[in-house]
Amino acid sequence: MQQTRSVEVGTGLFALLGISALFFLTTQTTGGDRFSADDTYEVEAWFDNVGSLKSRAPVAMSGVTIGRVTSVTFDAQRLQAKVVFEIDSKYGAIPDDSDASILTSGLLGSQYIGLQAGGSEDNLENGSEIFFVQDAIVLENLIGKFLVSSGSGDDE
Amino acid sequence: MTSVLRDIYNNVFEFVRTFGAFQLFFLRLVRHSPRMLLRRPGLVIKQVYNTGALSLVIIMVCGFFVGGVLALQGYANLARFNAEDSVGTVVALALIKELGPVITALLFAGRAGTALSSEIGLMKATDQLSAMEMMAVNPVRRVLVPRFVGGVISMPLLVAVFTCIGLFGADVVAVYLLSVDVGAFWQQMQLSVDIKDIQEGIFKSIVFGIVASLLAVWEGYNAIPTAEGVGRATTRTVVITAIAVLILDFMITAVML
């Protein structure tokens, strides 16, 4: 009897340890950019180039995550990329002339959407579109421009 | 010439037969598993203790050092690109997706699988299984099923413990020995590890748990009932489990990527 008890205690401890390890893995190693809100509204924006922006990427304002990208698709008619993202309804008072730019966190980090507040009286609401956008910066284009401009400088 | 062909035919035939018998054996175990789990949970708990709780020491020690060496190697190579902060990402992804399940399965085969197959083989060699049948006790249900179910339950828990201790070991090496910033270490990890990666690891650990326990029980049950036969069955358990786990790992990764 005493032996079965110790077996049961050992098994119980083992199971608890295993389950708490699983819990640790699922909660502590993931979700650095986790965003969850019960109530959100969707906003869309059109970009010429989204770089490597993916769905689930964070949407930040002043560096604070207030939403996330729900879809990135290419529209064959407008020949532009359509990015739809949702914003927590808590932040309902964002001017509708705010601008959205695709930024990179850190030098080699993942890309996210940064919002910068505008001055309009009207606010963004479900389904509205952001007109002021800034594309992702592509390093090759940047270097190309730099080379062209420095080349033309020599001619003068 | 004909005798050579006949040999080949016999070998292929024997292989197919064994493979079929193996699958039928698996189905038999699965069929009995829910009833055993409900009717005789005590037997299963005993086996979870034997295969899981008693394997904890080796799993934890190995996990710590595997995590530590990953951090060392990752740091040494990432430092060339000035990306030392990503060492957390590298270690976490490697441990969660690959090394956690695989190394735990190999250690499990060595620590628990051999114990299972030699125990069952010895029971067979000393006619204990026949004696059970004489008493109208089904040895598959009474002896094999609890060991199989116990192994299947233990394995995911062992993998989780291994991975956690590995991360802890990596943290110790990276933060305390190599002075990587602790915030960068964990934040980079959290940014790049997705819940899908953890699901992949858990899925692998369940598959490996089934494979490792099944092979151990199968080898023990089919051991030649002599001292030599039991020894050979024990060796075969480790060899076949290692091969099966590594091949399956490749296939699962290829499908899930």
| Nearest residue to B197 via CA among B105, B63, B90, B65 | B90
Out of B45, B198, B201, closest to residue A7 by CB: B45
Mean pLDDT of B242-256: 93
In a domain, A154, yes or no: no
pLDDT per residue over B153-187, tens digit each? 999 999 999 999 999 999 999 989 988 888 888 88
Cα–Cα dist B103/B78, whole Å: 24
In a domain, A145, yes or no: no
* Cβ within 8 Å of residue B14, ≥6 positions away: none
Of A50-59, A63-72, A76-85, give the lowest mean pLDDT range. Answer: A50-59
Set of chain A residues whose Cβ sits within 8 Å of the Cβ of B161: 17-18, 21
In a domain, A149, yes or no: no
Asked whether residue A94 falls in the same domain as residue A47, the answer is yes
Average pLDDT over chain B reads 91
* Cβ within 8 Å of residue A105, ≥6 positions away: A111, A112
Cα–Cα dist A70/A123, whole Å: 20
- Are B34 and B146 contacting, i.e. CB atoms less than 8 angstroms apart? no
Strand arrangement, sheet containing A40-47: A129-130, A40-47, A80-88, A64-75, A58-61, A111-116, A99-104, A132-134
Tokens in use for B5?
A: 């062909």
Asked whether residue A44 falls in the same domain as residue A114, the answer is yes
Is 0.90 topped by the overall pTM? no
Cα–Cα dist A95/A125, whole Å: 9
CB contact under 8 A, A10 and B83: no
pLDDT per residue over B44-70, tens digit each? 888 999 898 889 999 999 999 999 999
Chain A window 116-155: which residues touch B at a Cβ cutoff of 8 Å?
none
As for how many domains chain A has, the answer is: 2
Asked whether residue A45 falls in the same domain as residue A111, the answer is yes
How far does B174 lie from chain A, in Å, by closest CA?
16
In a domain, A20, yes or no: yes
Asked whether residue A51 falls in the same domain as residue A116, the answer is yes
**Domain residue spans in chain B?**
2-256
Mean pLDDT of B142-152: 91
Cα–Cα dist A14/A89, whole Å: 43
User: Can you state the percent helix, strand and coil of chain B, rounding each to 5?
Assistant: 90, 0, 10
> Which residue segment(s) compose the domain that A24 sits in?
1-30
Mean pLDDT of B192-198: 85
Mean pLDDT of B84-96: 89
In a domain, A19, yes or no: yes
Asked whether residue A26 falls in the same domain as residue A98, the answer is no
Confidence at residue B64, expressed as pLDDT on a 0 to 100 scale:
95
Q: What angle do CA A117, A118, A120 make, to 5 degrees?
A: 130
Cα–Cα dist B222/B233, whole Å: 8
pLDDT per residue over B104-121, tens digit each? 999 999 999 999 999 999
Asked whether residue A68 falls in the same domain as residue A126, the answer is yes
Asked whether residue A80 falls in the same domain as residue A133, the answer is yes
Asked whether residue A84 falls in the same domain as residue A131, the answer is yes
In a domain, A84, yes or no: yes
Asked whether residue A78 falls in the same domain as residue A131, the answer is yes
Cα–Cα dist B107/B211, whole Å: 13
Asked whether residue A22 falls in the same domain as residue A63, the answer is no
Q: What are phi and psi of A42, to 5 degrees?
A: -100, 140
CB contact under 8 A, A110 and B191: yes
Confidence at residue A154, expressed as pLDDT on a 0 to 100 scale:
53
B219 pLDDT higher than 90: yes
Confidence at residue B250, expressed as pLDDT on a 0 to 100 scale:
94
